[in-house]
A = this chain, B = another copy of it.
């Protein structure tokens, strides 16, 4: 039976505030390049004061993935918590206007909508400082149970392990999904996030997850001390499928004893890596939910990622469905 939605995501509903910066700013605030750090409102204000002119755009990891699926012509839903402010309207507008069914929870929060200060260094790498705001208040009551049951895949971002209530909602959502024959996909999100929740991630994956997304650093953080090959051997014993991205080296898709290497799509110049992993997951999951073979899923992922890193911002600027057609992938 075809389900009405291909993918429903749950994640932090965030507005990104993106500015170029020199390496020195990362040092000044002791930021680890390429990672995400949670900040208090006060820390965020201090950093914003030091940031150059910025661009605001809707973000949030799973939300970016869902936007990418819609841009590919897929049927996607998203659940996340926003406040009552202008950023809430921006977030809701952007995700709905690209065609995602957005469920903003049982009630909006009085807390400001979450935002992520993103510093883009001259090498195109992004370093993220997230003030979760309302996004962190996502809880069981905000789950749209019918949407989860009506989806082929439930997609969860690892970042939601940070707030306790959201983590509990994840477990509920995953259990609902499995009972309804909905596959559960999970992204490890960030090496430090993995570090904070290693055992929780491992048991969540073992017990509830079918498909794992991770980049190389995140995978190695899940299995500390392992080589890349050893970590790949480990992950395949804990879930039925994993897609491991390795930036310009492409990605490896692991399913049981199969391992398929898919090259990255070449780009002219890396402008802003924000959203690369999110869009990889978008292409991959769209392919999977559409019945494509694994190699095509991987190529859709690489293509979607390549489209989003050549401009500032984590979401596609032009319909991904056109790029996918031009590459003969759909």
* B313–A93 CB distance below 8 A: no
The segment out of A2-10, A52-60, A232-240 that lies at the interface is A52-60
A97 CB–B CB distance under 8 Å: yes
A274 CB–B CB distance under 8 Å: no
Q: How many copies does the complex hold?
A: 2
Q: In the bound complex, what is the Cα–Cα distance between A214 and B110 (angstroms)?
A: 47
Give chain B nearest CB distance to A97 CB in angstroms.
Answer: 5
Partner among B85, B90, B312, B317 whose Cβ is within 8 Å of the Cβ of A56: B90
With A20-B317, A311-B311, A311-B312 in contact, is A53–B85 under 8 Å at CB?
no
Render A32-72 as a binary contact track against B, CB cut-off 8 A, 1 for contact: 00000000000000001101111111100000000100000
* B55–A57 CB distance below 8 A: yes
Give chain B nearest CB distance to A71 CB in angstroms.
Answer: 9
Point out the residues of chain B lying under 8 angstroms from A299, CB to CB.
Answer: none
Give chain B nearest CB distance to A133 CB in angstroms.
Answer: 12
Q: Is the interface of A mostly helix, strand, loop or mixed?
A: mixed
Point out the residues of chain B lying under 8 angstroms from A20, CB to CB.
Answer: 317-318
* B51–A97 CB distance below 8 A: yes
With A85-B86, A312-B317, A317-B312 in contact, is A67–B53 under 8 Å at CB?
yes
Q: In the bound complex, what is the Cα–Cα distance between A90 and B52 (angstroms)?
A: 11
Instruction: Give the most central of A19, A51, A54, A85: most B CB within 10 Å.
Output: A54
Q: In the bound complex, what is the Cα–Cα distance between A87 and B52 (angstroms)?
A: 16
* A55–B55 CB distance below 8 A: yes
With A56-B55, A86-B86 in contact, is A93–B48 under 8 Å at CB?
yes
Point out the residues of chain B lying under 8 angstroms from A49, CB to CB.
Answer: 93
* B98–A52 CB distance below 8 A: yes
Give chain B nearest CB distance to A206 CB in angstroms.
Answer: 37
Nearest B residue (CB) for A313: B55
* A94–B57 CB distance below 8 A: no
With A48-B93, A93-B48 in contact, is A53–B86 under 8 Å at CB?
no
Could you list 8 examples of A-B contacts with CB < 8 Å? A20-B317, A53-B67, A53-B97, A55-B55, A85-B85, A85-B86, A86-B87, A311-B311
